[in-house]
Amino acid sequence: MTDSPTEYAKPTFRGDVTVELVKHSAADSDVLWAARVSTAGEQSLEEITKDPERSKGLINYLMRDRHGSPFEHNSMTFFISAPILVFREFMRHRVGWSYNEESGRYRELQPVFYVPGQDRKLVQEGRPGKYVFVEGSQEQHDLTTRVMEDSYRQAYEAYQEMLAAGVAREVARSVLPVGLFSSMYATCNARSLMHFLGLRTQHEQATVPSFPQREIEMVGEQMEAEWAKLMPLTYAAFNKNGRVAP
Ligand SMILES: Cc1cc2nc3c(=O)[nH]c(=O)nc-3n(C[C@H](O)[C@H](O)[C@H](O)COP(=O)(O)OP(=O)(O)OC[C@H]3O[C@@H](n4cnc5c(N)ncnc54)[C@H](O)[C@@H]3O)c2cc1C
Protein backbone atom coordinates (compact mmCIF):
# COMPACT_ATOMS: atom_id res chain seq x y z
CA MET A 1 0.00 0.00 0.00
CA THR A 2 1.31 3.54 -0.73
CA ASP A 3 1.14 6.42 1.74
CA SER A 4 0.42 9.23 -0.66
CA PRO A 5 -1.04 9.51 -4.16
CA THR A 6 2.30 10.75 -5.52
CA GLU A 7 4.15 7.49 -4.75
CA TYR A 8 2.34 4.98 -6.91
CA ALA A 9 3.52 3.90 -10.35
CA LYS A 10 2.22 6.09 -13.14
CA PRO A 11 -0.01 4.52 -15.80
CA THR A 12 1.59 3.13 -18.93
CA PHE A 13 -0.26 2.46 -22.17
CA ARG A 14 0.14 -0.22 -24.79
CA GLY A 15 -1.64 -1.35 -27.94
CA ASP A 16 -0.31 -4.89 -28.21
CA VAL A 17 -0.99 -8.20 -26.45
CA THR A 18 1.54 -10.91 -25.66
CA VAL A 19 1.29 -14.69 -25.76
CA GLU A 20 4.01 -17.03 -24.60
CA LEU A 21 3.88 -20.80 -24.97
CA VAL A 22 5.24 -21.80 -21.59
CA LYS A 23 4.67 -25.55 -21.63
CA HIS A 24 3.57 -28.11 -24.15
CA SER A 25 3.19 -31.75 -24.93
CA ALA A 26 1.69 -31.64 -28.40
CA ALA A 27 2.63 -33.34 -31.66
CA ASP A 28 0.92 -34.78 -34.71
CA SER A 29 2.00 -38.20 -33.53
CA ASP A 30 -0.32 -37.81 -30.52
CA VAL A 31 -3.27 -37.68 -32.92
CA LEU A 32 -2.09 -40.73 -34.86
CA TRP A 33 -1.42 -42.73 -31.77
CA ALA A 34 -4.88 -42.01 -30.40
CA ALA A 35 -6.64 -42.71 -33.71
CA ARG A 36 -4.82 -45.94 -34.46
CA VAL A 37 -5.60 -47.52 -31.13
CA SER A 38 -9.02 -48.13 -32.68
CA THR A 39 -7.59 -50.66 -35.08
CA ALA A 40 -4.05 -51.45 -33.90
CA GLY A 41 -4.65 -51.60 -30.14
CA GLU A 42 -1.50 -51.38 -28.06
CA GLN A 43 0.62 -51.69 -31.22
CA SER A 44 -0.47 -48.23 -32.35
CA LEU A 45 2.64 -46.42 -31.09
CA GLU A 46 4.82 -48.35 -33.54
CA GLU A 47 2.58 -47.41 -36.45
CA ILE A 48 3.31 -43.70 -36.25
CA THR A 49 6.52 -43.45 -38.23
CA LYS A 50 5.86 -46.27 -40.69
CA ASP A 51 4.16 -44.34 -43.47
CA PRO A 52 4.17 -40.49 -43.33
CA GLU A 53 1.76 -40.06 -46.27
CA ARG A 54 -0.74 -42.40 -44.65
CA SER A 55 -0.37 -40.44 -41.41
CA LYS A 56 -1.10 -37.19 -43.17
CA GLY A 57 -4.11 -38.75 -44.85
CA LEU A 58 -5.42 -40.13 -41.59
CA ILE A 59 -5.21 -36.72 -39.86
CA ASN A 60 -7.00 -35.11 -42.79
CA TYR A 61 -9.72 -37.79 -42.72
CA LEU A 62 -10.26 -37.32 -38.98
CA MET A 63 -10.53 -33.56 -39.46
CA ARG A 64 -12.85 -33.79 -42.48
CA ASP A 65 -15.22 -36.29 -40.90
CA ARG A 66 -15.05 -34.53 -37.54
CA HIS A 67 -13.69 -37.42 -35.51
CA GLY A 68 -12.57 -35.02 -32.82
CA SER A 69 -11.36 -36.99 -29.82
CA PRO A 70 -7.90 -38.00 -31.19
CA PHE A 71 -7.07 -34.28 -31.22
CA GLU A 72 -7.50 -34.06 -27.45
CA HIS A 73 -4.44 -36.11 -26.36
CA ASN A 74 -2.07 -33.16 -26.14
CA SER A 75 -1.61 -30.05 -24.04
CA MET A 76 -0.45 -26.46 -24.49
CA THR A 77 -0.12 -23.84 -21.74
CA PHE A 78 0.02 -20.19 -22.75
CA PHE A 79 0.86 -17.16 -20.64
CA ILE A 80 -1.23 -14.31 -21.97
CA SER A 81 -1.10 -10.60 -21.19
CA ALA A 82 -4.07 -8.70 -22.55
CA PRO A 83 -6.76 -6.26 -21.42
CA ILE A 84 -9.55 -7.55 -19.19
CA LEU A 85 -12.01 -7.06 -22.06
CA VAL A 86 -10.21 -9.85 -23.89
CA PHE A 87 -10.29 -12.21 -20.90
CA ARG A 88 -13.99 -11.58 -20.45
CA GLU A 89 -14.56 -12.99 -23.94
CA PHE A 90 -11.86 -15.64 -23.64
CA MET A 91 -13.33 -17.30 -20.56
CA ARG A 92 -16.59 -17.95 -22.36
CA HIS A 93 -14.71 -20.89 -23.88
CA ARG A 94 -15.57 -23.52 -21.30
CA VAL A 95 -14.77 -26.86 -22.84
CA GLY A 96 -11.19 -28.15 -22.94
CA TRP A 97 -9.74 -25.04 -21.29
CA SER A 98 -8.19 -24.38 -17.87
CA TYR A 99 -7.56 -20.84 -16.64
CA ASN A 100 -5.73 -19.10 -13.83
CA GLU A 101 -5.69 -15.30 -13.80
CA GLU A 102 -3.88 -12.81 -11.59
CA SER A 103 -5.93 -11.66 -8.63
CA GLY A 104 -7.17 -8.17 -7.93
CA ARG A 105 -7.92 -9.23 -4.37
CA TYR A 106 -4.50 -10.53 -3.39
CA ARG A 107 -2.28 -8.05 -5.21
CA GLU A 108 -2.29 -4.40 -6.14
CA LEU A 109 -3.17 -4.09 -9.82
CA GLN A 110 -0.50 -2.50 -11.94
CA PRO A 111 -1.38 0.53 -14.08
CA VAL A 112 -0.94 -0.85 -17.58
CA PHE A 113 -3.80 0.07 -19.91
CA TYR A 114 -4.86 -0.69 -23.46
CA VAL A 115 -4.87 2.08 -26.06
CA PRO A 116 -5.47 0.93 -29.65
CA GLY A 117 -2.49 1.23 -31.96
CA GLN A 118 -2.53 3.14 -35.25
CA ASP A 119 -3.33 -0.04 -37.18
CA ARG A 120 -6.51 -0.77 -35.18
CA LYS A 121 -9.54 -0.02 -37.36
CA LEU A 122 -11.64 2.37 -35.29
CA VAL A 123 -14.90 2.88 -37.12
CA GLN A 124 -17.75 0.37 -37.39
CA GLU A 125 -20.00 0.56 -40.44
CA GLY A 126 -23.17 -1.42 -41.23
CA ARG A 127 -25.66 -3.19 -39.00
CA PRO A 128 -24.90 -5.76 -36.27
CA GLY A 129 -24.05 -9.13 -37.75
CA LYS A 130 -23.17 -7.53 -41.06
CA TYR A 131 -20.75 -4.77 -40.27
CA VAL A 132 -17.19 -3.98 -41.17
CA PHE A 133 -14.49 -1.97 -39.49
CA VAL A 134 -12.71 0.74 -41.41
CA GLU A 135 -9.71 2.96 -40.73
CA GLY A 136 -10.25 5.86 -38.36
CA SER A 137 -9.02 9.33 -39.22
CA GLN A 138 -5.95 10.72 -37.49
CA GLU A 139 -8.28 12.97 -35.49
CA GLN A 140 -10.25 9.94 -34.26
CA HIS A 141 -7.03 8.19 -33.28
CA ASP A 142 -5.77 11.25 -31.43
CA LEU A 143 -9.10 11.71 -29.65
CA THR A 144 -9.28 8.03 -28.67
CA THR A 145 -5.76 8.09 -27.28
CA ARG A 146 -6.31 11.30 -25.34
CA VAL A 147 -9.69 10.37 -23.90
CA MET A 148 -8.63 6.84 -22.96
CA GLU A 149 -5.41 7.96 -21.30
CA ASP A 150 -7.17 10.70 -19.31
CA SER A 151 -9.86 8.30 -18.21
CA TYR A 152 -7.36 5.59 -17.22
CA ARG A 153 -5.27 8.08 -15.22
CA GLN A 154 -8.34 9.31 -13.36
CA ALA A 155 -9.53 5.77 -12.61
CA TYR A 156 -6.11 4.65 -11.36
CA GLU A 157 -5.79 7.73 -9.17
CA ALA A 158 -9.18 6.94 -7.62
CA TYR A 159 -8.03 3.34 -7.02
CA GLN A 160 -4.86 4.57 -5.33
CA GLU A 161 -6.73 7.10 -3.25
CA MET A 162 -8.88 4.35 -1.81
CA LEU A 163 -5.91 2.03 -1.18
CA ALA A 164 -4.05 4.87 0.58
CA ALA A 165 -7.10 5.38 2.81
CA GLY A 166 -7.05 1.71 3.80
CA VAL A 167 -9.87 0.46 1.58
CA ALA A 168 -9.46 -3.21 0.60
CA ARG A 169 -8.07 -3.98 -2.86
CA GLU A 170 -11.13 -6.07 -3.72
CA VAL A 171 -13.37 -3.04 -3.11
CA ALA A 172 -11.15 -0.36 -4.64
CA ARG A 173 -10.68 -2.25 -7.89
CA SER A 174 -14.30 -1.57 -8.82
CA VAL A 175 -13.27 1.73 -10.40
CA LEU A 176 -10.76 0.14 -12.81
CA PRO A 177 -11.87 -0.26 -16.42
CA VAL A 178 -11.86 -3.27 -18.76
CA GLY A 179 -8.92 -1.72 -20.64
CA LEU A 180 -6.66 -2.65 -17.70
CA PHE A 181 -4.13 -5.34 -18.57
CA SER A 182 -4.33 -8.66 -16.80
CA SER A 183 -2.42 -11.89 -17.19
CA MET A 184 -3.39 -15.53 -17.12
CA TYR A 185 -2.29 -19.06 -17.84
CA ALA A 186 -4.59 -20.81 -20.29
CA THR A 187 -4.19 -24.51 -20.99
CA CYS A 188 -5.93 -26.22 -23.86
CA ASN A 189 -5.63 -29.06 -26.35
CA ALA A 190 -5.62 -28.90 -30.14
CA ARG A 191 -9.34 -29.61 -30.39
CA SER A 192 -10.37 -26.86 -27.97
CA LEU A 193 -7.84 -24.48 -29.57
CA MET A 194 -9.29 -25.15 -33.02
CA HIS A 195 -12.79 -24.38 -31.74
CA PHE A 196 -11.45 -21.15 -30.26
CA LEU A 197 -9.61 -20.18 -33.45
CA GLY A 198 -12.65 -20.91 -35.61
CA LEU A 199 -14.63 -18.37 -33.58
CA ARG A 200 -11.99 -15.84 -32.63
CA THR A 201 -10.03 -15.32 -35.84
CA GLN A 202 -10.95 -14.23 -39.34
CA HIS A 203 -9.26 -16.25 -42.05
CA GLU A 204 -9.66 -16.60 -45.78
CA GLN A 205 -9.89 -20.39 -45.52
CA ALA A 206 -12.73 -20.33 -42.98
CA THR A 207 -15.89 -21.82 -44.42
CA VAL A 208 -17.92 -20.49 -41.48
CA PRO A 209 -16.73 -16.89 -41.11
CA SER A 210 -16.67 -15.28 -37.68
CA PHE A 211 -16.40 -11.61 -36.75
CA PRO A 212 -14.34 -11.49 -33.56
CA GLN A 213 -13.22 -8.41 -31.72
CA ARG A 214 -9.78 -7.52 -33.02
CA GLU A 215 -8.10 -7.65 -29.61
CA ILE A 216 -9.01 -11.30 -28.89
CA GLU A 217 -8.08 -12.10 -32.48
CA MET A 218 -4.61 -10.68 -31.80
CA VAL A 219 -4.26 -13.20 -28.98
CA GLY A 220 -5.64 -15.99 -31.17
CA GLU A 221 -3.19 -15.25 -33.97
CA GLN A 222 -0.22 -15.60 -31.65
CA MET A 223 -1.53 -18.85 -30.18
CA GLU A 224 -2.14 -20.14 -33.68
CA ALA A 225 1.44 -19.38 -34.73
CA GLU A 226 2.81 -21.40 -31.78
CA TRP A 227 0.45 -24.31 -32.33
CA ALA A 228 1.20 -24.47 -36.09
CA LYS A 229 4.86 -25.15 -35.28
CA LEU A 230 4.02 -27.99 -32.87
CA MET A 231 1.44 -29.81 -35.01
CA PRO A 232 2.00 -28.89 -38.67
CA LEU A 233 -0.06 -31.76 -40.15
CA THR A 234 -3.00 -31.07 -37.87
CA TYR A 235 -2.73 -27.37 -38.58
CA ALA A 236 -2.70 -27.94 -42.35
CA ALA A 237 -5.72 -30.23 -42.10
CA PHE A 238 -7.58 -27.64 -39.99
CA ASN A 239 -7.07 -25.01 -42.72
CA LYS A 240 -7.81 -27.42 -45.55
CA ASN A 241 -11.12 -28.36 -43.98
CA GLY A 242 -12.40 -24.83 -43.52
CA ARG A 243 -11.11 -24.14 -40.02
CA VAL A 244 -14.04 -25.95 -38.41
CA ALA A 245 -13.02 -27.76 -35.24
CA PRO A 246 -13.58 -31.53 -35.53
C1 LIG B 1 -18.16 -13.08 -32.77
C2 LIG B 1 -18.71 -13.48 -31.43
C3 LIG B 1 -19.66 -12.69 -30.80
C4 LIG B 1 -20.19 -13.07 -29.55
N5 LIG B 1 -21.09 -12.25 -28.94
C6 LIG B 1 -21.60 -12.58 -27.73
C7 LIG B 1 -22.56 -11.75 -27.05
O8 LIG B 1 -22.95 -10.72 -27.55
N9 LIG B 1 -22.99 -12.13 -25.81
C10 LIG B 1 -22.59 -13.30 -25.24
O11 LIG B 1 -23.02 -13.62 -24.13
N12 LIG B 1 -21.67 -14.10 -25.86
C13 LIG B 1 -21.18 -13.79 -27.06
N14 LIG B 1 -20.26 -14.60 -27.67
C15 LIG B 1 -19.79 -15.79 -26.96
C16 LIG B 1 -20.42 -17.08 -27.55
O17 LIG B 1 -21.84 -17.08 -27.37
C18 LIG B 1 -19.81 -18.30 -26.88
O19 LIG B 1 -20.09 -18.27 -25.51
C20 LIG B 1 -18.31 -18.37 -27.06
O21 LIG B 1 -17.97 -18.13 -28.40
C22 LIG B 1 -17.78 -19.74 -26.65
O23 LIG B 1 -18.24 -20.67 -27.59
P24 LIG B 1 -18.70 -22.13 -27.20
O25 LIG B 1 -19.82 -22.09 -26.19
O26 LIG B 1 -18.97 -22.86 -28.47
O27 LIG B 1 -17.36 -22.70 -26.52
P28 LIG B 1 -17.20 -23.71 -25.32
O29 LIG B 1 -17.82 -23.16 -24.08
O30 LIG B 1 -15.74 -24.01 -25.25
O31 LIG B 1 -18.02 -24.98 -25.75
C32 LIG B 1 -17.56 -25.82 -26.80
C33 LIG B 1 -18.72 -26.63 -27.34
O34 LIG B 1 -19.19 -27.51 -26.33
C35 LIG B 1 -20.61 -27.61 -26.41
N36 LIG B 1 -21.18 -27.09 -25.17
C37 LIG B 1 -20.53 -26.40 -24.19
N38 LIG B 1 -21.35 -26.11 -23.20
C39 LIG B 1 -22.55 -26.58 -23.54
C40 LIG B 1 -23.82 -26.55 -22.91
N41 LIG B 1 -24.04 -25.97 -21.74
N42 LIG B 1 -24.84 -27.13 -23.54
C43 LIG B 1 -24.68 -27.74 -24.73
N44 LIG B 1 -23.50 -27.79 -25.40
C45 LIG B 1 -22.46 -27.22 -24.80
C46 LIG B 1 -21.03 -26.81 -27.62
O47 LIG B 1 -21.06 -27.65 -28.74
C48 LIG B 1 -19.91 -25.81 -27.76
O49 LIG B 1 -19.77 -25.27 -29.07
C50 LIG B 1 -19.74 -14.24 -28.92
C51 LIG B 1 -18.79 -15.04 -29.57
C52 LIG B 1 -18.28 -14.68 -30.79
C53 LIG B 1 -17.24 -15.54 -31.45
CATH classification at residue 190: 3.30.1360.170
Is 110 domain-assigned? yes
What's the CA angle centered on 221, arms 215 and 222, to 5 degrees? 100
User: What is the signed CA dihedral for 93, 84, 86, 139, rounded to 10 degrees?
Assistant: 160
> Number of structural domains, the chain?
1
The whole domain housing 89 covers 12-27+74-118+179-240
- Is the C-beta atom of 208 inside 6 A of ligand 1? no
**Centroid of chain to Cα 134:** 23
Q: Is 66 a catalytic residue?
A: no
Query: Which atom of ligand 1 is found nearest the CA of 97?
Result: 30
Residue 116: is its pLDDT beyond 60? yes
Is 150 domain-assigned? no
14 is in an annotated binding site: no
DSSP H/E element including 34: helix 28-40
Burial class (CB in 10 A: 0-12, 13-18, 19+), 126: exposed
Residue 128 is predicted with a pLDDT of 76
pLDDT tens per residue across span 190-241: 999 999 999 999 999 999 999 999 999 999 999 999 999 999 999 999 999 9
Query: Of 169, 200, 214, 243, which one is the catalytic site residue?
Result: 200
Q: Give whole-number Cα distances, 122 to 17, 116, 130, 212, 240, in Å.
A: 17, 8, 16, 14, 32
Is 184 domain-assigned? yes
pLDDT tens per residue across span 86-112: 999 999 999 999 999 999 999 999 999
Higher pLDDT among residues 171 and 39, named by residue: 171
Is 54 domain-assigned? no
**How far apart are the CA of 89 and the centre of ligand 1, in A?**
10
What is the pLDDT confidence band of residue 183, given thresholds at 50, 70 and 90? very high
Is 93 domain-assigned? yes
Is 195 domain-assigned? yes
Is 45 domain-assigned? no
DSSP H/E element including 100: strand 97-101
